[in-house]
Amino acid sequence: MKETIVVTGALGGSGSWIVDHLRHDADVVAVDLTLPEDQDVEGVDFRAVDLTEQGQVFETILDADPTAVVHFGNIPHEEDHAGGHVYENNTMGTFHTLEAAGRAGAKVVWASSETVYGTHWPEPKLPEYLPLDEEHPVAPWNGYETSKLSGEAAAERVSNKYNVPVASIRPSWIQYPGDYVVTPFREQFSFETASRFGNFWSYIDIRDIVGVVTAALESDFTGHEVFNAFGPDNFLGVPTADAIEAGFGSLPETCELSGEESAFSTEKARTVLGWEPTHSWRDAEDEHIAGPSFV
């Protein structure tokens, strides 16, 4: 008998790829605010749910009786929403979803964000050390980032109260094969005109997001754990430390970066989950891979 997994944000960029991957081995309850035009997708039961409404969330998740809940159903930025609305929506949606998962005794994997490190500051600062790992101090700037830290606190609470494993994934800027929006930034980059770039020219391919979510679902970790999820390199094609020094004017005293490796460490995910990023912009930028058919 297949296990049941609830995925929120199921019609979003990341959620749809996660649903499309998981549906081959599990029965997926795919949750979003609206339903897709094509609901005839094998292995998927689509549900229209407002995650800020506790009753809807509890009924959907508890009735599904899932073994796991994958929560990607948040407003992903403040570009076209007021910061307060983003904070309220994401905080309440995450609290209700994780609470329902805990009551169902389900493992949780959910999307926090790289931005908790302070990547959206108007004038980003150098980190205390490089590469940044999960122990580095956080420095939220806007409502979106603060909502992600609120979600991590909710994750800690749910794990403590219900004794379920919860993975808070901090993904980088997610890119899609054949549609890498970081390309113009690389093409315009030069050491002479470089300025501060909040996430140090980091990214992650959507297929590596699917990979880290799958690894977290399959891993036997306990409690609440936070994991960085970044691509294997920067997207510039130059040494990472050189780019940071050019853009920021200096480097932190402790800098252990080698070549083009990401400024953010994924060693914890490798050690605990057995996951490593495998997709580089060098190949993925021009790949043409069809995404999920239902979006």
- Give the pLDDT means over successive 10-residue stretches in the chain (295 positions): 94 98 98 95 98 98 98 89 93 98 98 96 95 97 96 98 98 97 96 96 98 98 98 98 98 98 98 98 93 92
pTM, entire model:
0.97
Looking at residue 11, its pLDDT comes to 98
Residue type for 195, please?
A: S
DSSP 202-261: --EEHHHHHHHHHHHHH----SEEEEEE--SB-SSSS-HHHHHHHHHSS--SEE---TTB
CA dist., res. 139 & res. 167, Å (int)? 20
Q: What are the φ/ψ torsions at residue 271 (nearest 5 degrees)?
A: -70, -45
Looking at residue 156, its pLDDT comes to 98
Question: Burial of 34 by CB count in 10 Å (0-12 exposed, 13-18 middle, 19+ buried)?
Answer: exposed
Domain definitions of the chain by residue range? 4-177+205-232+264-278
CA dist., res. 77 & res. 82, Å (int)? 10
Looking at residue 83, its pLDDT comes to 87
Strand, coil or helix: 267: helix
CA dist., res. 215 & res. 204, Å (int)? 16
Looking at residue 80, its pLDDT comes to 83
Looking at residue 188, its pLDDT comes to 96
Looking at residue 81, its pLDDT comes to 86
The closest alpha carbon to 132, from 148, 112, 118, belongs to 118
Residue type for 220, please?
A: D
Looking at residue 221, its pLDDT comes to 97
Looking at residue 27, its pLDDT comes to 98
Residue type for 41, please?
A: V
Looking at residue 243, its pLDDT comes to 98
CA dist., res. 294 & res. 90, Å (int)? 24
- Rounded to the nearest 10 degrees, the angle between the axes of helix 143-162 and helix 83-104 is 10
Looking at residue 288, its pLDDT comes to 87
Give the tokens for residue 77: 């930025």
Q: Which CATH superfamily is domain 4-177+205-232+264-278 in?
A: NAD(P)-binding Rossmann-like Domain (3.40.50.720)
